[in-house]
Amino acid sequence: MSNPEIQLIVGLGNPGAEYAATRHNAGVWLLEKFAQQHGTALRTEAKFFSLYAKAGGYHLLFPQTYMNASGRAVAAACQFYKIPPEAVLVIHDELDLAPGVARFKQGGGHGGHNGLKDIQAALDSAAFWRLRLGIGHPGDRKLVVQWVLKPPRQEEQTLIDIAIGQALDVLPQALKGQMNQAMQQLHRQN
């Protein structure tokens, strides 16, 4: 798969104050920090069913459709701006990585993540890039829903914040299509 420059950065999470501090919103935490670094904030954009901003030449999107329907928002932005899936970076929480770990990946399955599953269906492609932020696993499949919809413990939050900082450090390279260099640097750090 090719490494075009990223045009659309999507932070996955659920809208509303009751979800803002939950593990499932880790992708939004990074997206909001990126927007702040560029002196902007996300604002309602009805045509994308999202909070949206333009920063550093990139389109930023936080779908307001709830996690399970994230694809509707991503597809709307991709269609409007004519962005191919390979130029999309989706930032999301990852159960299979420990807190403090961040990893880039292109393509692949959704691993049971309903946001990714819906985006794949809406784009009819899995070729988009992912930035996976580790939130750890509760140890039992039956506890996953409760786990992702609760805030991390303080020590976990500290590790997640460190991983977000490390990811933000290499993000400029990744967004320019230099994914191999960004991956090597990030994956070496955590």
- C-alpha 131/C-alpha 116 separation (Å) is 12
- C-alpha 132/C-alpha 111 separation (Å) is 12
Tell me which residue has tokens 């899995």: 126
DSSP state of 126: -
10: three-class secondary structure by DSSP: strand
Active site residue 24: yes
Q: Minimal CA–CA distance to 128: which of 148, 112, 104, 111?
A: 104
Q: Which of 24, 59, 92, 113 is catalytic?
A: 24
- C-alpha 55/C-alpha 30 separation (Å) is 14
- C-alpha 71/C-alpha 55 separation (Å) is 22
CB 73 within 8 Å of CB 111 = no
CB 118 within 8 Å of CB 38 = no
Degrees to nearest 5, angle at CA 132 with 128 and 137:
135
Residues with catalytic function: 24
